[in-house]
Amino acid sequence: MHDPAGLHIRPAAAVAQAAAAYASDVRFCYGGREVDGKSVLDLLTLGAAPGTTVELVVIGADAEEAADHIARVWHEVLGASPGSANDEL
């Protein structure tokens, strides 16, 4: 994550909105915690700071499409260059 403010409300809302568009279960993992990627509040409680790596886990029928889209949104709103959804965010 490259945004100097870390994961804050605007990017968390964009990521949660992207995740909510899919039926798959979307989880973000960081520092031994796992949170619901469709919840802005859960994403904010993750406490991911600038320079950290966050793992995206998507399970379900539309998981591949969802992971690609959510990873792209994550990278766009947090100032990182787009990468594969299989990469850690």
- Among all residues, which ones are annotated catalytic? 8
d(CA 88, CA 41): 21
The number of beta carbons lying within 10 Å of the beta carbon of residue 53 is 11
Please give the C-alpha separations between residue 44 and each of 6, 39, 48, 55, 89, in angstroms, as whole numbers.
10, 9, 8, 15, 15
d(CA 52, CA 32): 13
